[in-house]
C-alpha cells in the first residue's frame, strides 16, 4: 500500500459498521411483521402467543445475565415468567460496567441467540464459514468501497452455503432436525411481544429503537470510545496486512442473516396458522398432516429410486403440497373464493330464519 488517503483514514472503517446496521434494521422490520401476525391469531391461539412471549423474555433475560457475568457483577437473583423477566446483580456497578450490562439487555437479543445457531452450524460441519479475501492485496481493499466489497462478498458466500444447507436439510437426521427446531424457536422468540396478564407499554419497533437511543444518549462518551477502538483496530489490521476488522463485522452480518431467516420461517408458520383458522371443521388439520406425510412418502420413494436431489426434492414437495392442500381447502371449504368462482354460499340457520320472517311479513301485508 503506497500511502494513506482520507478515504482510508476516515470513511473506510465505517463501511462494515453501516453494513451491519442495514441488516440489523431489516431484522427489525421482520420482527415487527411477526408481531403483527401474532396479534392477528392471538384471540384463537393465546397459549402459542404466550409461549413465543416466554421465549422472547427468556432470550432477553439470559442476555442481561450474560452482561452481568461479563462485567463481573455476579447474579444474585434470576426470575422469569410468561410475561416478565428480572436479573439482579450481586454487586451494583455504575459507569461503563452498567452501560455494558444494559447493552447486552437491549442489543444482545438480536445477535446472541443467533450466535448459538452459528456454533451449531460449525458442529454440523457446514462449509462456507470463512472470509472471502482478495488474492492480490494492493491497498484498495482498505478503502470504503473495498471494505464494502469484502463485507458483501463474505455475506454472499455465507448466505450461499447457509441456504444451500437449509435447502438440502435432512429432516430424518437428528442433528439437522434439531437445528431446524432451534431455528424456529429463535424466530418465534427473538424479541418479546409482552402478551401476558400484566399491562405493559406497547412493545414495537419504535420501542426497541427508543431503548437503544436511550442507551446511546445516556453516555455519548462511551460511543465515542467504541468508535476510537474500532478505528484503531482497523488501522492495526492494515499494519499487519490482514482483514481482521472486516472479518469481525462480517460475523455480525452472518448473525443477522441467520436471524432474518429464522424470522421468515416463523412468519410462514404463523401465516399458515392464520390461514388454516379460516377453514371450518377438522379439515383445517389436513395441512399439518400433509407436512410430515408428504415428506416421509417422498423419502420412501427415493429410498427405492435413489437420486442426487433426494433431500431438496423431498423438501420442495413437502412445501408445495402443503400450500396446494391449504389452497384447495380454502377454495372448497370456505366462502373466500365464492365470488370469483360463481359458487353460491351455503345458507345457514340464521339465513333460513330471516327468510321465513320475510315471508310471514309479506303475508300480513297482503
Burial degree of 13 (CB within 10 A; 0-12, 13-18, 19+): buried
The HSE-up count of residue 356 (CA atoms within 13 Å, CB side) is 7
Q: What is the mean pLDDT of the chain?
A: 81
Model pLDDT, residue 291: 93
Residue spans per domain, the chain: 14-274, 278-339
Model pLDDT, residue 93: 80
d(CA 225, CA 327): 55
d(CA 173, CA 335): 41
Which pTM does this prediction carry? 0.82
Phi first, then psi, for residue 126 (nearest 5°) are: -85, 125
d(CA 289, CA 219): 54
Task: Specify the length of the chain in residues.
Answer: 366
Model pLDDT, residue 129: 66
* Residue among 21, 36, 20, 27 nearest 203 (CA): 36
pLDDT for 195-215, tens place per residue? 444 545 556 667 667 777 777
Buried residues in 106-116 as b, exposed as e (16+ CB within 10 A): bbbbbbbbbbe
The three grid cell numbers given for residue 175, joined into one nine-digit string: 442433528
The HSE-up count of residue 29 (CA atoms within 13 Å, CB side) is 6
d(CA 31, CA 39): 12
* Residue among 29, 66, 36 nearest 270 (CA): 36
* Residue ranges of the chain whose pLDDT lies below 70: 1-4, 127-139, 191-205, 207-208, 335-366
Q: How far is CA 94 from the centre of its chain?
A: 33
Phi first, then psi, for residue 191 (nearest 5°) are: -145, 140
* Residue among 177, 196, 216, 26 nearest 110 (CA): 26
Model pLDDT, residue 85: 82
Q: Which residue is listed with cell 438440502?
A: 168
Model pLDDT, residue 320: 95
Q: Please, where are the H alpha helices in 168-277?
A: 174-189, 205-218, 220-239, 244-276
Model pLDDT, residue 195: 46
Model pLDDT, residue 366: 42
Amino acid at each position: 500500500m503506497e500511502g494513506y488517503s482520507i478515504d482510508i483514514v476516515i470513511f473506510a472503517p465505517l463501511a462494515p459498521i453501516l453494513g451491519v446496521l442495514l441488516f440489523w434494521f431489516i431484522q427489525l422490520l421482520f420482527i415487527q411483521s411477526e408481531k403483527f401476525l401474532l396479534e392477528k391469531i392471538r384471540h384463537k391461539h393465546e397459549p402459542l402467543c404466550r409461549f413465543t412471549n416466554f421465549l422472547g423474555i427468556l432470550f432477553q433475560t439470559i442476555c442481561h445475565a450474560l452482561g452481568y457475568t461479563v462485567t463481573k457483577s455476579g447474579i444474585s437473583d434470576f426470575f422469569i415468567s410468561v410475561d416478565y423477566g428480572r436479573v439482579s446483580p450481586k454487586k451494583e456497578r455504575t459507569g461503563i460496567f452498567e452501560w455494558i450490562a444494559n447493552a447486552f439487555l437491549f442489543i444482545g437479543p438480536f445477535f446472541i441467540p443467533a450466535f448459538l445457531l452459528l456454533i451449531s452450524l460449525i458442529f454440523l460441519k457446514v462449509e462456507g464459514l470463512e472470509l472471502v479475501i482478495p488474492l492480490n492485496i494492493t491497498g484498495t481493499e482498505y478503502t470504503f468501497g473495498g471494505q464494502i466489497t469484502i463485507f458483501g462478498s463474505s455475506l454472499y458466500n455465507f448466505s450461499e452455503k447457509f441456504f444451500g444447507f437449509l435447502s438440502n436439510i435432512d429432516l430424518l437426521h437428528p442433528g439437522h432436525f434439531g437445528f431446524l427446531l432451534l431455528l424456529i424457536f429463535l424466530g418465534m422468540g427473538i424479541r418479546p411481544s409482552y402478551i401476558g396478564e400484566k399491562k405493559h407499554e406497547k412493545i414495537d419497533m419504535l420501542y426497541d429503537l427508543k431503548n437503544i437511543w436511550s442507551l446511546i444518549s445516556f453516555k455519548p462518551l462511551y460511543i465515542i470510545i467504541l468508535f476510537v477502538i474500532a478505528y484503531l483496530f482497523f488501522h492495526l489490521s492494515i499494519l499487519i496486512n490482514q482483514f481482521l476488522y472486516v472479518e469481525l463485522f462480517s460475523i455480525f452480518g452472518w448473525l443477522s442473516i441467520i436471524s432474518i431467516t429464522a424470522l421468515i420461517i416463523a412468519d410462514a408458520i404463523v401465516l399458515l396458522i392464520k390461514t388454516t383458522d379460516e377453514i371450518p371443521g377438522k379439515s383445517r388439520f389436513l395441512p399439518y398432516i400433509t407436512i410430515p406425510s408428504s415428506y416421509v412418502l417422498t423419502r420412501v420413494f427415493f429410498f427405492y429410486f435413489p437420486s442426487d436431489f433426494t433431500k431438496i426434492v423431498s423438501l420442495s414437495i413437502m412445501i408445495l403440497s402443503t400450500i396446494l392442500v391449504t389452497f384447495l381447502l380454502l377454495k372448497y371449504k370456505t366462502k373466500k373464493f365464492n365470488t370469483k368462482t360463481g359458487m353460491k354460499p351455503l345458507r345457514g340457520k340464521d339465513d333460513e330464519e330471516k327468510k321465513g320472517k320475510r315471508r310471514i311479513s309479506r303475508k300480513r301485508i297482503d
